[in-house]
Amino acid sequence: MQFELTEEHLLIRQAARDFAQTELKPGVIERDEHQKFPAEQVKKLGELGFLGMMVSPQYGGSGMDAISYSIVMEELSKVDASTSVVVSVNNSLVCYGLEKYGTEAQKQKFLVPLAQGEKIGAFCLSEPEAGSDATSQHTTAIDMGDHYLLNGTKNWITNGSTASTYIVMAQTDASKKHRGINALIVEKGMEGFTVGPKENKLGIRGSDTHSLMFTDVKVPKENRIGEDGFGFKFAMATLEGGRIGIASQALGIASGAYELSVQYAKERKAFGKTLADLQAIQFKLADMATEIEAARLLCYRAAWLKDNGLPYAQAASMAKLFASETAMRTTVEAVQIHGGYGFVKEYHVERLMRDAKITQIYEGTSEIQRIVISREVLK
């Protein structure tokens, strides 16, 4: 058992922390208010190698481990979860899946620019009538010999308009149910592919969330990932790693709100003392600190299992379930500690509270995580 981070982990943590303070913090309130995508910040993250963190250097990535990825996600999310979701989706839902299951030609053409941050990717599974029930895909990909004819609509797609490379799950053979689903690489600009209006969201408002429409889009056969019918397994396997990213994002939202609360409690005076001298506040901080530490250990354990080639589906679901519930509880308490100041935008905690909510929903709701965990328990 080894609880210490390596020298490399500490260095990457400092780099992400510095980036969050110098590049993300200025303007984060305004980007949230105006739903402005952090384009410059994402470009810089790409140049620093944060968009292809775990991809092998052979394909333009940084070749780091999943623990480093979890650390970076926490640090960025303490300040700006709208930016960190771009990092999470590009790394774990797009780059990871392409590197693990893509052909050499797909890796050269699509993975290299994504890992280098020259292009951004999107993962398109959810539909108007298929969120948690992901096997019930209505988008169709009819086999036309040398290409698939893609038709349908995808909903709530992160990086919806800024991405260039989209991995789209679609049903080729409905009689085979989930075994008839394929994962296809769709490029921006393909005829018949249109991006719907931007969603006006409660949280992570700087991120770019859209519906996508496909009308008779011709997707070449060489853009299919894996064997015919591998699409659902591809989506599930990719989401396993994605859940480590979102768990770490939730951890960061919680620890960001906690750090602001500790600072505020030490400064704010009430009843002739600081808030930090009041037991009611001390106990809130103690609960926050304990839950955050537990969430961090769950995130690191899931990442460690992944790094060591061990099964990690249950661990990733546990980390996401606990970290996202912790993010929600912690941010609500952080607003409470800040009182009236917590309810206004300048103090950051109200945004963190709004951002926390999505971590209980996307890449599998808390209820879906409980399904995954309990199935393992009852196996």
Kindly list the catalytic residues.
363
Closest to ligand COS by CB, 142 or 237: 237
DSSP at 205: T
Closest approach, Cβ 154 to ligand COS, in A, equals 10
Kindly state the smallest distance separating residue 364's Cβ from ligand COS, in Å: 3
Q: What is the DSSP letter of 144?
A: -
Report the nearest approach of ligand COS to the CB of residue 367 (Å). Answer: 9
Smallest distance from the beta carbon of 239 to ligand COS, in angstroms? 5
Three-state SS string across 209-248, please?
EEEEEEEEEEEEHHHEECCCCCHHHHHHHHHHHHHHHHHH
Please state, as a whole number, how many other Cβ atoms lie within 10 Å of the Cβ of residue 157. Answer: 24
Query: Between residues 285 and 313, which has the closer beta carbon with respect to ligand COS?
Result: 313
What are the structure tokens assigned to 25, written together?
Answer: 């913090």
Chain residues in the site for ligand COS (CB under 6 A): 125-126, 131-132, 134-135, 178-179, 232-233, 236-237, 239-240, 313, 362-364, 368, 371-372
Beta strands per DSSP E along the chain: 121-124, 140-143, 147-158, 165-171, 181-187, 193-198, 209-220, 224-225, 269-270, 273-274
Q: Are strands 209-220 and 193-198 parallel, antiparallel or unpaired?
A: antiparallel
- Minimum CB separation from ligand COS for residue 352, in Å? 20
Q: Residue 103 is encoded by which pair of tokens? A: 């052909």
Q: Whole-number minimum distance, CB 363 to ligand COS, in Å?
A: 5
Nearer to ligand COS by Cβ, of 135 and 194: the residue is 135
Q: Give whichever of 40 and 367 is closer to ligand COS, judged by the CB atom.
A: 367
Indicate the residue among 273 and 375 with the shorter CB distance to ligand COS: 375
Q: What is the closest distance, in whole angstroms, from the C-beta atom of residue 70 to ligand COS in the complex?
A: 19
363, two tokens? 């890449």
Q: What is the spatial distance between Cα 205 and Cα 7, in angstroms, rounded to a whole number?
A: 35
Which pairs with CB-CB distance under 8 Å and at least 24 residues apart come from 299-304? 299/70, 299/74, 299/244, 299/247, 299/248, 299/251, 299/323, 300/67, 300/70, 302/66, 302/243, 302/244, 302/247, 303/65, 303/66, 303/67, 303/69, 303/70, 303/244, 303/248, 304/66, 304/67
- Which of residues 76 and 239 has its CB atom nearest to ligand COS in the complex? 239
CA distance 121 to 110: 9
Question: What residues have CB less than 8 Å from 4, skipping those under 6 apart?
Answer: none
Specify the residue, 92 or 261, whose C-beta has the smaller distance to ligand COS.
Answer: 92
